[in-house]
Amino acid sequence: MTGESMQIALPLSRLASDAGEVTSLYRELREPLLRYLVCLGLFKDEAQDVVQDAFLSLHRHLAAGRPQQNIRGWLFRVAHNQARNRQGSYHRRFAEPLDSCFAPMLDETTPERMVLEKEKFHRLAKAIAALTDSERECLLLRAAGLRYREIGEALDMATSTVGDTVERAIRKLSEKLDV
The CATH number of the domain holding residue 25 is 1.10.1740.10
* The pLDDT of residue 88: 67
* The pLDDT of residue 112: 77
Residue 122 covered by a domain: no
Identify which of 107, 168, 115, 128 has the alpha carbon closest to the alpha carbon of residue 39.
128
CA–CA separation, 58 and 71 (whole Å): 8
Residue 41 covered by a domain: yes
* The pLDDT of residue 11: 45
Residue 161 covered by a domain: no
Using an 8 Å Cβ cutoff, are 134 and 51 in contact?
no
CA–CA separation, 103 and 109 (whole Å): 14
CA–CA separation, 153 and 94 (whole Å): 22
pLDDT truncated to tens, each residue of the chain (179 aa)?
444 444 433 344 445 445 566 678 888 889 988 888 888 878 888 889 999 999 888 888 888 888 777 888 888 889 988 888 887 644 444 455 555 555 555 445 677 777 777 888 788 888 888 999 999 999 888 888 888 998 998 899 999 999 999 999 989 988 888 76
Residue 112 covered by a domain: no
* The pLDDT of residue 43: 82
Instruction: Give the type of residue at 119.
Output: E
Phi then psi dihedrals of residue 70, to 5 deg? -120, 85
pTM, rounded to two decimals: 0.56
The number of CA neighbours under 13 Å toward the Cβ of 110 is: 3
The secondary structure of residue 158, as a DSSP letter, is -
Identify which of 22, 20, 11 has the alpha carbon closest to the alpha carbon of residue 67.
11
Per the structure, the complete domain to which residue 48 belongs is given by 1-95
Residue 144 covered by a domain: no
Residue 105 covered by a domain: no
CA–CA separation, 154 and 146 (whole Å): 9
Residue 15 covered by a domain: yes
Tally of domains in the chain: 1
Using an 8 Å Cβ cutoff, are 36 and 54 in contact?
no
Residue 49 covered by a domain: yes
